[in-house]
């Protein structure tokens, strides 16, 4: 029997829970944990299993370098990098772009250019063409890599760029990059700049300070962190915070440590965790055998793909201070900004990830209304199944989105939940009772409980939240339906939302201590005289790292297609301020979503955000949102209950952090 939240409860930060993978744990403080990836290894099952289980960001190890992307002048080869970006996107991983301008892995046709204006044109074209190709898909670009000399000079190293264009080449590259993709984060990346007093560190620091003073566009500095056994330098955290205080994010971009000592890894991770603007960590490869320094066994997994002791020390160290806990005025301001959601959104959608699996007693047409939590290393998805004979519930679990479509469908009508109208599930762990709740509609608002989310037979028989439909709903529902019940709690109270397909969102309230009993005081939380503009499928979430709540409501657009509008509020009880709330500026709609693997739907309909945790606070990250939704073949028509709904995943592409 799994009872989450007990073993570590005493040490966990109050608003977080312990995760079992590096990426999930890093995400709890708003950070990413990534790895360098080689396209040629994606077919290696051990490699890709670890990649997709542990990491939520990737850096192509060599595939975005000049000698691959533009080996011949003007002839661009994005194939290998596209393979990595495509895989990463389908697994919800972010991508660091590495690297646009570097003296190494540079084709000889560039290094042999002899005049400044040719080189300037070539450099600008390389930056612009590459960034255009990956527009909207890259978390941060290493615009210039390793431009500073080793040793005591603190000056730039010689290179064709330095020699022909002078000191200004770095600035020119950053300006070209900003012009190519104004929404991309632009980084300077280097090694041996982790020790604060080193001349090279000081040289890079002076450059970044100068750039910030003069308004040269730079957003972040990458510290490669290719470390020896006695590392990190004692001043590493100071270095990170000193750079951050200039107004840039900092990231650890290529971490590996000779012999992978547990303490060195833990101290390196802690240095990042203690700096609010340290937004993520990337290790330079997965297994020791994947490393460019394989002889030194510097990574977190051994050659067989087993976790090394350093893995555990990293996972533990990632459970530290939340990213928002800035102390200096500069970083406090930026952290507040990063924690707030943007006012416009863009998304990239997966293809169909899950489809109905009819069996001899379940003749299913549509898989709908998903609710999802990530717990104990797995995604747990609950969804409605629809057919001409009505609605039921199904449960499936998997470790990785690539396995979603092959996961077994457990029909919950086989257990105590029973047969009959059950739909639109919502799952969460109610920490005060150490119990999982599944909330769903039955005509009333109902729930079942279970101590083990992974046991589909463990759910209790349905119980109702209300003795009957509250009067205020009865008075306003018209010809609508009472649907889509949704529970969220703060530290004192729990709230139950529902919709009526008639332009009203309702909210009832009880105390945390009384839950699941005592829901009274039902009020209209939001209304619209056009019922299609405030139709159904509402989600309410707490945004991590700030006192902000997000409300999403599904609407039906003027094109007849489903989409989401959004509002924010400082408390669950409102009042709600429009965020992205129109057809022209929707929260999520076909017109702000790209479909790299084919536009399989025009509807972005009823679903669930991937949460940062799994408890009753329904906390979501403020960055790089992901939304599991239902969509369908645009050509499908006929009876609503037999429409071919399928599930897909949106990933936000315009995150500002
Ligand atoms: O890990 C990369 C290795 O496969 C390449 O052969 C090498 C070529 O220079 O580049 C390695 O990655 C480097 C990264 O791009 C920049 N920082 C130093 C890394 C290790 O050399």
User: Dihedral through CA 144, CA 150, CA 153, CA 155, nearest 10?
Assistant: -10
Q: Which of 84, 254, 291, 293 to mutate to test the pocket of ligand 1 (most atoms within 8 A of CB)?
A: 254
Cα dihedral 627, 631, 634, 637 sign: negative
Nearest residue by C-alpha to atom 12 in ligand 1: 61
For the record, the structure tokens of 210 come out as 């100068």
Nearest residue by C-alpha to atom 3 in ligand 1: 292
User: Dihedral through CA 17, CA 22, CA 28, CA 31, nearest 10?
Assistant: 170
The Cα–Cα gap between 42 and 436 comes to 36
pLDDT at 379: 94
The minimum-distance atom of ligand 1 relative to the CA of 191 is 17
CA of 410 to the centre of ligand 1 (A): 46
Q: Please determine, for residue 515, whether its predicted confidence score (pLDDT) is greater than 80.
A: yes
More confident residue, 5 or 574: 574
Write out pLDDT tens, residues 429-449.
999 999 999 999 999 999 999
The Cα–Cα gap between 552 and 539 comes to 5
Nearest residue by C-alpha to atom 8 in ligand 1: 105
Q: Which of 347-385 are b and which e, b meaning 16 or more Cβ less than 10 Å from the residue's Cβ?
A: bbbbbbbbbbbeeeebebbbbbbbbbbbbeebbbbbbbb
Q: Please determine, for residue 276, whether its predicted confidence score (pLDDT) is greater than 90.
A: no
pLDDT at 27: 84
Confidence of residue 656 (pLDDT cuts 50, 70, 90): low
User: Dihedral through CA 35, CA 350, CA 187, CA 213, nearest 10?
Assistant: -150
Closest CA to 601 of 650, 567, 642, 565: 650
The Cα–Cα gap between 562 and 606 comes to 9
pLDDT at 182: 84
The minimum-distance atom of ligand 1 relative to the CA of 292 is 1
* DSSP 3-state of 91: coil
Nearest residue by C-alpha to atom 4 in ligand 1: 292
**DSSP assigned state of 150:** S
Find out whether 573 and 526 touch, Cβ atoms under 8 Å.
Answer: no
Nearest residue by C-alpha to atom 13 in ligand 1: 61
pLDDT at 420: 95
Residue extents of the structural domains in the chain? 35-221+284-307, 347-652
Q: What is the mean pLDDT of residues 340-344?
A: 86
Q: Which of 292, 295, 296, 299 to mutate to test the pocket of ligand 1 (most atoms within 8 A of CB)?
A: 292
Find out whether 145 and 189 touch, Cβ atoms under 8 Å.
Answer: yes
pLDDT at 546: 67
Active site residues: 254
The matching CATH number, chosen from 3.20.20.80, 3.40.50.620, 3.40.50.1220, 3.30.230.10, for 35-221+284-307 is 3.20.20.80
CA of 147 to the centre of ligand 1 (A): 14
**Mutual orientation of helices 236-244 and 329-339 as an angle, nearest 10°?**
70
* DSSP 3-state of 56: coil
CA of 417 to the centre of ligand 1 (A): 55
CA of 32 to the centre of ligand 1 (A): 21
pTM higher than the cut 0.85: no
For the record, the structure tokens of 184 come out as 């991309």
* DSSP 3-state of 182: coil
What's the mean per-residue pLDDT of the chain? 91
Q: Kindly give the residue spans of alpha helices, DSSP state H, lying in 455-559.
A: 471-476
The Cα–Cα gap between 359 and 279 comes to 46
Terminal C-alpha separation, the chain:
38
Residues with CB under 6 A from ligand 1: 61-62, 104-105, 145, 191, 224, 254, 292
User: Dihedral through CA 238, CA 20, CA 81, CA 590, nearest 10?
Assistant: -110
CA of 144 to the centre of ligand 1 (A): 14
CA of 292 to the centre of ligand 1 (A): 7
Nearest residue by C-alpha to atom 10 in ligand 1: 62
Write out pLDDT tens, residues 300-335.
999 999 999 999 999 999 983 333 322 222 222 233
Nearest residue by C-alpha to atom 20 in ligand 1: 292
The Cα–Cα gap between 607 and 537 comes to 7
Q: Which of 34, 62, 67, 159 to mutate to test the pocket of ligand 1 (most atoms within 8 A of CB)?
A: 62
The minimum-distance atom of ligand 1 relative to the CA of 145 is 16
The minimum-distance atom of ligand 1 relative to the CA of 284 is 1
The Cα–Cα gap between 259 and 299 comes to 8
The DSSP code sequence of 417-465 is: T-SSS-EEEEEEEEGGGTEEEEEEESSSEEEEEES-TT-TT-PPPPEES
Query: Residue 69's CB: how many other CB atoms inside 10 A?
Result: 22
CATH of segment(s) 347-652: 2.115.10.20
CA of 561 to the centre of ligand 1 (A): 47
């Amino acid at each position: 029997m799994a009872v989450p939240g007990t073993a570590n409860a005493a040490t966990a930060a109050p608003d977080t829970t312990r995760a079992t993978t590096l990426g999930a744990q890093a995400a709890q403080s708003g950070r990413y944990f990534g790895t360098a990836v080689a396209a040629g290894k994606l077919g290696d099952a051990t490699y890709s299993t670890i990649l997709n289980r542990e990491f939520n960001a990737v850096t192509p190890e060599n595939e975005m370098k000049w000698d691959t992307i533009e080996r011949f002048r003007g002839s661009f080869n994005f194939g290998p990098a596209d393979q990595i970006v495509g895989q990463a996107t389908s697994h919800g991983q972010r991508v660091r772009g590495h690297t646009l301008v570097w003296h190494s892995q540079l084709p000889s046709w560039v290094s042999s250019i002899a005049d400044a204006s040719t080189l300037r044109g070539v450099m600008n074209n390389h930056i612009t063409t590459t960034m255009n190709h990956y527009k909207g898909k890259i978390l941060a670009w290493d615009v210039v890599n390793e431009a500073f000399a080793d040793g005591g000079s603190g000056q730039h190293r010689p290179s064709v760029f330095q020699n022909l264009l002078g000191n200004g080449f770095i600035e020119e590259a950053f300006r070209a990059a900003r012009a190519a993709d104004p929404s991309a984060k632009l980084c300077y990346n280097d090694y041996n700049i982790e020790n604060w007093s080193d001349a090279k560190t000081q040289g890079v620091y002076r450059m970044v300070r100068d750039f910030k003073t003069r308004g040269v566009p730079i957003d972040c500095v990458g510290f490669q962190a290719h470390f020896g056994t006695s590392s990190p330098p004692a001043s590493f955290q100071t270095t990170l915070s000193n750079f951050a205080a200039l107004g840039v994010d900092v990231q650890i971009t290529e971490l590996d440590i000779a012999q992978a000592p547990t303490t060195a890894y833990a101290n390196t991770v802690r240095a990042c965790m203690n700096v609010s603007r340290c937004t993520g960590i990337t290790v330079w490869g997965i297994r020791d055998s994947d490393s460019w320094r394989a002889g030194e066994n510097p990574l977190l997994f051994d050659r067989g793909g087993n976790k090394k002791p350093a893995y555990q020390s990293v996972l533990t160290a990632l459970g530290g201070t939340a990213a928002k806990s800035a102390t200096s005025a500069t970083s406090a301001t930026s952290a507040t900004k990063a924690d707030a959601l943007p006012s416009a959104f863009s998304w990239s959608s997966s293809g169909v990830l899950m489809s109905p699996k009819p069996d001899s007693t379940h003749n299913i047409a549509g898989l709908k209304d998903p609710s999802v939590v990530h717990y104990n290393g797995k995604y747990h998805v609950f969804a409605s199944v629809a057919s001409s004979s009505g609605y039921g519930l199904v449960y499936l679990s998997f470790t990785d989105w690539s396995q979603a479509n092959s996961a077994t469908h457990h029909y919950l009508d086989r257990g105590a939940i029973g047969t009959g109208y059950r739909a639109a599930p919502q799952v969460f762990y109610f920490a005060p009772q150490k119990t999982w709740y599944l909330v769903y509609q039955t005509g009333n608002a109902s729930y079942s409980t279970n101590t083990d989310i992974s046991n589909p037979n463990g759910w209790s028989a349905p119980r109702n939240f209300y003795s009957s439909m509250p009067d205020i709903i009865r008075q306003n529902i018209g010809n609508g339906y009472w649907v889509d019940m949704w529970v969220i709690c703060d530290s004192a109270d729990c709230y139950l939302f529902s919709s009526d397909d008639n332009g009203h969102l309702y909210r009832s309230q009880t105390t945390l201590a009384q839950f699941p009993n005592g829901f009274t005081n039902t009020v209209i939380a939001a209304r619209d005289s056009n019922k299609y503009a405030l139709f159904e499928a509402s989600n309410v979430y707490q945004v991590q790292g700030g006192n902000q709540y997000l409300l999403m409501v599904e609407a039906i657009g003027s094109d007849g297609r489903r989409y989401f509008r959004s509002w924010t509020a400082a408390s669950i009880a409102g009042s709600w301020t429009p965020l992205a709330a129109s057809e022209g500026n929707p929260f999520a709609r076909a017109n702000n979503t790209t479909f790299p693997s084919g536009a399989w739907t025009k509807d972005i309909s009823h679903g669930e955000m991937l949460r940062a945790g799994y408890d009753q606070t329904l906390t979501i990250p403020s960055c790089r949102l992901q939304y599991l939704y239902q969509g369908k073949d645009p050509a499908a028509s006929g009876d609503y209950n037999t429409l071919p709904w399928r599930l897909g995943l949106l990933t936000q592409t315009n995150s500002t952090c």
